[in-house]
């Protein structure tokens, strides 16, 4: 599977699954550079602030910042006329909201380097750092403060800021940038999310992009037979990492060519964004902008499969220690494997 960028085509799973939070920040930076600052600030004033998550954040560090990027599976705002309504469902049809996406973005203040760490939703952890062990994505149900504490305790890294977006916001932002080109080597599908792609490159709209990003039962048709991606949550986060880098590239390419679309992109996604009380989105945008140009390192979390009470889960592997040391400020950044 390959995700196409505007300038080049790359293979493998090197990129990262940030969902759309960074793209929204990127748009604010581009808007400012195009002289639309007044409109930007007016719209930023309407962004929702998450006071509950704020209470669990770590104090500022003079050397780096960690942002918890959350894609929730909230169906709020779902319309029965949406083409993916049957696959996504309506608000209230799921048994408690979960964090469908979890990532940590690490920003080094002295160098401006940006690194992204994707956290599998099936990671088995102590919820809130207590004695109740569950998959990490269930922590969201207990409150955003519990989610923040869970991530900090499970990974041993501080979290300084919180950024969240839901399904509807994801689709709106993808549509507002004109879609994202994704390339696959073989016909691909996921019958659970409604995904179907022909071999080659396709420009995915918001509905198709969400089906791709949510896919946990990804299949490809090779030599006339459908083959399921057995890596499950690991393959899912790899595909999402590739998709988000391509989306960032598409946003820069499209907005650079037509600055007037900045307002459209902001209107498309800002209503679905939730951030902590302390986050300055303009400053966040400035930090994210180099990442959209490719100046970013992307890392999967080292894990291994396990079975707990008959349930397939993932456990943190010892090999994750050097990477987590970098994200908590006690070690150097590991080398990036360009092959995967």
Q: Is residue 183 part of a domain?
A: yes
Q: Can you name the residues that pair with 114 across neighbouring β-strands?
A: 107
Q: What average pLDDT does range 303-322 have in this prediction?
A: 94
pLDDT band at 241 (very low <50, low <70, confident <90, very high): low
Residue 102 covered by a domain: yes
Residue 195 CB partners (closer than 8 Å, separation 6+): 188, 189, 208, 211, 212, 215, 218
59 lies in a domain? yes
Considering the domain boundaries, does residue 336 fall inside one?
Answer: no
Considering only residues 252 and 5, tell me which one the structure prediction assigns the higher pLDDT.
252
Establish if 337 belongs to a structural domain. Answer: no
The token pair that represents 24 in the structure block? 């929204």
Domain of 125, CATH number, reads: 3.40.630.190
Is 147:140 a contact under the CB 8 Å cutoff? yes
176 lies in some domain? yes
Q: What is the pLDDT of residues 6-57, one digit of tens each?
A: 333 333 333 333 444 455 555 555 455 444 445 555 566 667 889 999 999 9
Q: Dump pLDDT digits (tens) for 114-131.
A: 898 889 889 999 999 898
Number of domains forming the structure of the chain: 1
Query: 301 CB contacts (<8 Å, ≥6 apart)?
Result: 117, 118, 119, 120, 123, 155, 316, 320, 323
CB 128 within 8 Å of CB 81: no
198: CB partners within 8 A, 6+ apart:
187
Q: What is the residue range of 98's domain?
A: 2-327
Three-state DSSP at 271 gives: helix
pLDDT at 257 over 90: no
Query: Is there a domain that residue 332 lies in?
Result: no
Q: Work out the end-to-end distance of the chain between its first and last CA atoms, rounded to an integer number of angstroms.
A: 12
Q: Is residue 340 part of a domain?
A: no
pLDDT tens string 273-298: 788 999 887 777 777 766 555 567 88
Q: Is pTM beyond 0.75 here? A: no
């Amino acid at each position: 599977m390959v995700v196409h960028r505007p300038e080049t085509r790359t293979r493998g799973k090197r990129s990262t699954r940030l969902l759309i939070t960074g793209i929204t920040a990127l748009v604010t930076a581009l808007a400012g550079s195009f002289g639309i600052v007044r409109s930007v600030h007016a719209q930023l004033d309407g962004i929702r602030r998450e006071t509950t998550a704020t209470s669990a954040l770590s104090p500022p560090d003079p050397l780096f910042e960690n942002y918890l990027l959350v894609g929730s599976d909230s169906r709020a705002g779902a319309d029965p006329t949406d083409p993916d309504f049957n696959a996504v469902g309506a608000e209230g049809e799921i048994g408690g909201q979960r964090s469908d996406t979890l990532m940590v973005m690490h920003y080094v203040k002295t160098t401006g380097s940006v690194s992204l760490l994707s956290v599998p939703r099936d990671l088995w952890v102590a919820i809130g750092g207590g004695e109740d062990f569950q998959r990490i994505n269930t922590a969201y149900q207990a409150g955003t403060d519990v989610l923040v504490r869970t991530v900090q305790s499970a990974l041993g890294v501080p979290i300084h800021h919180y950024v969240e977006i839901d399904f509807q916001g994801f689709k709106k932002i993808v549509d507002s940038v004109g879609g994202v080109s994704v390339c696959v080597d073989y016909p691909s599908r996921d019958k659970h999310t409604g995904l179907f792609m022909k071999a080659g490159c396709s420009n995915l709209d918001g509905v198709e992009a969400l089906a791709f990003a949510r896919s946990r039962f990804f299949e490809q048709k090779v030599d006339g037979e459908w083959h399921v991606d057995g890596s499950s949550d690991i393959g899912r986060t790899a595909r999402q990492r590739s998709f988000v880098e391509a989306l960032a590239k598409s946003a820069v390419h499209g907005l650079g060519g037509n600055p007037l679309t900045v307002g459209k992109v902001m209107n498309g996604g800002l209503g679905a964004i939730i951030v902590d009380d302390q986050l300055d989105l303009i400053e966040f945008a400035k930090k994210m902008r180099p990442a959209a140009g490719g100046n970013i390192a992307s890392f999967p979390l080292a894990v291994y499969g396990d079975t707990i009470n008959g349930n397939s889960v993932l456990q943190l592997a010892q090999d994750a220690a050097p990477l987590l040391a970098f994200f908590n400020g006690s070690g150097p950044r590991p080398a990036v494997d360009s092959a995967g």
